[in-house]
């Protein structure tokens, strides 16, 4: 469920193969409108019939609002979204999307190291092209399972990127587990590391950076799923309170805050339902959140002024929300 505010009607302009198991989908505003601008790292929700919203990073160089481009991998364990897109989306179809959101922004730095695992290349490619235009030093390390049919090959081999792009084929034992890039072995306080990929890929990168004494705040990442969610956890019940009305609701051990609020007909933003998209972030007036998301930074979590309603809980008996 999502509020209607900010939703955009679009039309599928084109669909094209993009590496093994991937398709690129270009979207244009209906009636020839201009799409909202965005910065590298942003994503949109694509509303799929009967399935609801699915999140996809914007991977195009959208400087003028002419179109958005997403790249969708046909997932083996798909919840239906990628399967529907691959088998039912057609050029000229009408869709609804959200406005872009960016919880994976490109920080300021003197140098960048970008690490993409599989389809995690989508936000990082846009970042690499932006960095290259700024003439800032960078490396893009792209881990794939099939180096002969990789996504975005024409863009990765353009003169502006090619000399800074390194393709790592895991089928040839060239992965972070077997081969650490030299740049990761040489920590530098002016360098920021950004990564997007599966949980195992991110965890391995974190381990390498710790072993070479990088600072934790030098790494920013985006995961495909949230490893902090434990469906078998021994959760405790707590109350949430709406600041506007004082109304309280009990959140049981097996319920999420979002589920309780939706049952009570409270209008909230909700999309991924696993703490990776940021659409349900809500301000906290009082109480101590139990953060279980992958969106808020460690500094933001320490402030305890925001919470993701879909997966996080409360350490205090009552959590007062700015709703």
CB distance 234 to 286 below 8 Å: no
| Separation CA 168–CA 176 (nearest Å) | 9
CB distance 113 to 191 below 8 Å: yes
| Separation CA 59–CA 57 (nearest Å) | 6
The answer as to whether 231 is a domain residue is no
Supply the pLDDT for residue 3.
44
| Separation CA 238–CA 194 (nearest Å) | 36
Range of the domain at 154: 111-223
Q: How many CB atoms lie within 10 A of CB 57?
A: 25
Sort 12 into a burial class: Cβ within 10 Å, 0-12 / 13-18 / 19+. middle
* Average pLDDT of the segment spanning 39-61: 88
Are 218 and 119 part of one and the same domain? yes
Where is average pLDDT lowest: 24-38, 91-105, 290-304?
A: 290-304
The whole-chain average pLDDT of the chain stands at: 87
Domain boundary among 190, 223, 256: 223
The answer as to whether 175 is a domain residue is yes
Q: What is the tens place of the pLDDT at every residue in 241-280? A: 999 999 999 999 988 998 899 888 888 877 666 676 677 8
Helix spans in the chain (H): 81-88, 121-133, 153-156, 159-162, 199-211, 257-263, 298-303
The answer as to whether 53 is a domain residue is yes
| Separation CA 311–CA 313 (nearest Å) | 7
The answer as to whether 2 is a domain residue is no
Where is average pLDDT lowest: 81-90, 120-129, 225-234?
A: 225-234
The answer as to whether 12 is a domain residue is yes
The answer as to whether 69 is a domain residue is yes
Q: Is the dihedral of CA 280, 226, 285, 236 positive or negative?
A: positive
Give the C-alpha distances (Å, rounded to integers) separating 280 from 40, 206, 223, 231, 269: 21, 27, 17, 19, 5
28-37, 69-78, 131-140, 278-287: range with highest mean pLDDT: 131-140
Supply the pLDDT for residue 88.
92
Q: What is the tens place of the pLDDT at every residue in 10-47? A: 999 999 999 888 999 999 999 888 999 999 999 999 99
Are 245 and 219 part of one and the same domain? no
Instruction: Specify the pTM.
Output: 0.76
For 30, the 3-state DSSP assignment is helix
The answer as to whether 142 is a domain residue is yes
- pLDDT-derived band at 77, boundaries 50, 70, 90: low
Question: Tokens 């049981």 label which residue?
Answer: 252
Q: What is the CATH number of the domain that holds 217?
A: 3.40.50.80
Are 119 and 201 part of one and the same domain? yes
| Separation CA 224–CA 277 (nearest Å) | 10
């Amino acid at each position: 469920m999502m509020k209607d505010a900010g939703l955009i009607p679009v039309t599928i302009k084109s669909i094209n193969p993009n590496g093994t198991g991937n398709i690129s989908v270009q979207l244009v505003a209906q009636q020839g409108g201009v799409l909202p601008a965005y910065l590298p790292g942003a994503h949109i929700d694509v509303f799929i019939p009967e399935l609801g919203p699915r999140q996809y990073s914007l991977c195009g160089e959208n400087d003028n609002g002419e179109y958005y481009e997403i790249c969708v991998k046909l997932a083996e364990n798909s919840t239906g979204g990628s399967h529907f897109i691959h088998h039912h989306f057609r050029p000229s179809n009408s869709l609804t999307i959200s406005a872009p959101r960016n919880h994976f922004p490109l920080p300021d730095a003197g140098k960048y190291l970008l690490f993409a695992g599989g389809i995690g290349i989508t936000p990082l490619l846009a970042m690499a092209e932006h960095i290259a235009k700024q003439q800032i030093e960078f490396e893009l390390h792209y881990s794939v399972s099939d180096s002969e049919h990789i996504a975005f090959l024409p863009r990765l081999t353009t003169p502006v990127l090619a000399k800074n792009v390194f393709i790592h084929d895991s089928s040839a034992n060239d992965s972070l587990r077997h081969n650490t890039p030299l740049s990761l072995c040489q920590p530098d306080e002016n360098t920021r590391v950004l990564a997007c990929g599966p949980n195992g890929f991110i965890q391995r990168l974190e381990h390498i950076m710790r072993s070479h004494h990088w600072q934790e705040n030098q790494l920013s990442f985006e995961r495909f799923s949230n490893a902090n969610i434990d469906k078998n956890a021994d959760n405790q019940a707590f109350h949430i309170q709406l600041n506007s009305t004082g109304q309280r609701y009990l959140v049981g051990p097996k319920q999420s805050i979002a589920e309780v609020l939706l049952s009570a007909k409270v209008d909230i933003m909700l999309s991924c339902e696993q703490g990776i998209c940021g659409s349900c972030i809500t301000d906290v007036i009082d109480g101590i959140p139990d953060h279980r998301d992958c969106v808020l930074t460690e500094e933001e979590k320490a402030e305890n002024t925001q919470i993701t309603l879909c997966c996080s809980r409360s350490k205090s008996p009552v959590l007062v929300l700015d709703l």
